[in-house]
């Protein structure tokens, strides 16, 4: 095991870590966004918005870090993925912009039409981001038609095959559940009880997709379990994911909402861990010549010096980020109150 080997793996973990951080953190923003249309009252909608108001911006930055980390550590994978999924990437960017703008502008005018319009945009954009991420992850599992120069091109039509769509719905149901638990934490009174009932329904929906996706993966894409056959200990991750998710309803019935949210976060982390475990060592799996054409963390990585510099950046930066991230979440902890500077 050389230095290069260790640094490449370390950087693989860092990219994975930023993806997990993004899905956990922006995930509840997206969940709240998707639930946004299910409440009628304007006041409740504003509570929804302000539950994520001060933090969603910081959460979205994890996507930037993920993009930056991928660009820095594995430039080949970054270039291949974004140019290959060109159409989807452009739509993804459009919905990201629309979500940001909807949050920012929705409460700036009192007009009913104005608010209705932005509410719809906010909700649909959140759905689009979740669904789009699921589609990409699904395609990365099934593989893409990567040629020997590491190029591929998939139009929207071609990337919407059954398995990726299933992963898309899994992502949507997971994030809706995640968001609803977050809202339960941030609300009180009648609204709190209402969302609590929603949350239970979301859990059933997620359990359904979780079951189907697991079965489909094991039957049609058995290589996803290869690592577990090689190292049975890795199978613990699958057990962990199952335990975390089945723990949520139990904690929920005991009204330990905070812990339920933590369990949901850990569940998401294990699920993405399983994705990494199943696709390792491939970053982009080629459906046309797995061995020769695929991008792995070895052939896509940056030079040793860059990886070292990046590691220093991350070692200094990430503790700072986590430190003041915690401070900011503490500042805005507790139930949502609407004030003059609220959305």
Partner 1 sequence: MDAVTLSRIQFALTSSFHYIYPPLSMGLALMLVVIEGMYMKTKNVFYKQMAQFWTKIFGLTFALGVATGLVQLFGFGTNWARYSRFVGDVFGSTLAAEGVFAFFLEAGFIGIMLFGWDRVRPKIHYLSTILVTIGAHFSAVWIVIANSWMQTPSGYTIVGEGSEARAVVTDFWAMIFNPSAIDRLTHVILGCWLAGIFLLLSVCAYYLLKKRHMSFAYTGMKIGLVSAAIVLVLQLVSADSTARGVAKNQPAKLAAIEGIYKTKPYTPMGIVGFVDPKQEEVKGITMPGLLSFLVYRNPETPVKGLEEFPREDWPNVPVVFQTYHMMIYMWGAMVMLVMLALYFWKKKRLEQAKWTLRGIVLSVMCPQIANQTGWATAEMGRQPWVVYGLLRTEHGTSVSVQASQVFSSILMLSAIYLLLFILFIYLLNHKIQQGPEGGEAPSEYRNIYPK
Q: Would you say how long the chain is, in residues?
A: 343
Q: Give the range of 20-28, 50-58, 130-138, 184-192 binding partner 1 by CB under 8 A.
A: 50-58
Q: CA neighbours within 13 Å on the CB side: how many for 94? A: 9
C-alpha dihedral, 79 to 10 to 17 to 69, nearest 10°: -30
Q: Give the range of 203-211, 240-248, 278-286, 297-305 binding partner 1 by CB under 8 A.
A: 297-305
Q: How far is the CB of 164 from partner 1 (least distance, A)?
A: 19
Q: Which is nearer to partner 1, 109 or 120 (CB)?
A: 109
CB 284 within 8 A of CB 146: yes
Q: How far is the CB of 84 from partner 1 (least distance, A)?
A: 6
CA 279/CA 286 separation, integer angstroms: 11
CA 210/CA 162 separation, integer angstroms: 15
Counting contacts by CB under 8 A, is residue 153 touching partner 1?
A: yes
User: Would you put residue 41 in left (φ > 0), alpha (ψ -120 to 50) or beta?
Assistant: beta
Counting contacts by CB under 8 A, is residue 68 touching partner 1?
A: yes
Counting contacts by CB under 8 A, is residue 111 touching partner 1?
A: no
Q: Is the peptide bond before 87 cis (omega within 30 degrees of 0)?
A: no
- Phi and psi at residue 144, to the nearest 5°: -125, 155
CA 52/CA 278 separation, integer angstroms: 33
Q: How far is the CB of 220 from partner 1 (least distance, A)?
A: 27
Counting contacts by CB under 8 A, is residue 58 touching partner 1?
A: yes
Q: Which is nearer to partner 1, 232 or 340 (CB)?
A: 340
Q: Which is nearer to partner 1, 151 or 254 (CB)?
A: 151
Q: Which is nearer to partner 1, 267 or 325 (CB)?
A: 325
CA 276/CA 290 separation, integer angstroms: 17
Selection from 219, 199, 261, 254 nearest residue 24 by Cα: 261
Q: DSSP for 47-105?
A: HHHHHHTTTHHHHHHHHHHHHHHHHHH-HHHHHHHHHHTHHHHHHHHHHHHHHHHHHHH
From the list 94, 116, 239, 290, which residue makes contact with partner 1 (rule: CB under 8 A)?
Answer: 94
Q: CA neighbours within 13 Å on the CB side: how many for 42? A: 13
From the list 7, 24, 34, 55, which residue makes contact with partner 1 (rule: CB under 8 A)?
Answer: 55
Counting contacts by CB under 8 A, is residue 79 touching partner 1?
A: yes
From the list 16, 33, 53, 179, which residue makes contact with partner 1 (rule: CB under 8 A)?
Answer: 53
Q: Which is nearer to partner 1, 65 or 203 (CB)?
A: 65
Counting contacts by CB under 8 A, is residue 305 touching partner 1?
A: yes
Counting contacts by CB under 8 A, is residue 93 touching partner 1?
A: yes
Q: How many CB atoms lie within 10 A of CB 290?
A: 13
> Under the rule (CB under 8 A), what is the footprint of partner 1?
53-55, 57-58, 60-61, 63-65, 67-69, 71-73, 75-76, 78-84, 86-87, 89-90, 93-94, 96-98, 100-101, 104-105, 108-109, 149, 151-153, 302-303, 305-306, 309-310, 313-314, 317-318, 320-321, 324-325, 328, 331-332, 339, 341-342
């Amino acid at each position: 095991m050389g230095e290069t080997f260790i640094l490449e793996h370390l950087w693989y973990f860092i990219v994975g870590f930023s993806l997990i951080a993004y899905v956990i953190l922006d995930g509840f923003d997206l969940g709240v966004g998707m639930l946004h249309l299910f409440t009628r009252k304007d006041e409740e909608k504003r509570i929804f918005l302000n539950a994520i108001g001060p933090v969603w911006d910081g959460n979205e930055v994890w996507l930037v870090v993920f993009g930056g980390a991928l660009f820095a550590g594995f430039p080949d994978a970054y270039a291949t993925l974004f140019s290959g999924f060109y159409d989807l990437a452009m739509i993804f960017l459009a919905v990201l912009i629309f979500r940001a703008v909807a949050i920012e502008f929705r409460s700036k005018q009192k007009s009913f039409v104005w608010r209705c319009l932005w509410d719809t945009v906010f909700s649909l954009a959140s759905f689009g981001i979740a669904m789009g991420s699921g589609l990409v992850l699904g395609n990365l599992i099934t593989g893409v038609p990567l040629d020997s120069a590491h190029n591929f091109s998939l139009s929207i039509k071609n990337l919407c095959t059954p398995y990726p769509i299933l992963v898309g719905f899994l992502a949507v149901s997971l994030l809706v559940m995640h968001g609803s638990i977050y809202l339960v934490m941030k609300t009180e009174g009648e609204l709190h009880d209402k969302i609590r009932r929603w949350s239970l329904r979301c859990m059933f929906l997620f359990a359904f997709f979780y079951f189907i996706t697991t079965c489909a993966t094991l039957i049609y894409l058995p290589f996803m379990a290869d690592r577990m056959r090689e190292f049975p200990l890795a199978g613990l991750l699958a057990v962990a994911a199952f335990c975390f998710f089945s723990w949520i309803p139990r904690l929920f019935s005991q009204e330990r909402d905070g812990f339920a949210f933590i369990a949901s976060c850990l569940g998401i982390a294990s699920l993405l861990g399983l994705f990494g475990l199943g696709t390792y060592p491939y970053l982009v799996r080629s459906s046309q010549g797995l061995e020769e054409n695929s991008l792995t963390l070895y052939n896509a990585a940056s030079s040793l010096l860059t990886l070292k510099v990046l590691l220093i950046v991350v070692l200094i930066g990430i503790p700072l980020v986590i430190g003041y991230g915690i401070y900011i979440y503490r500042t805005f902890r507790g139930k949502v109150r609407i004030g003059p500077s609220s959305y």
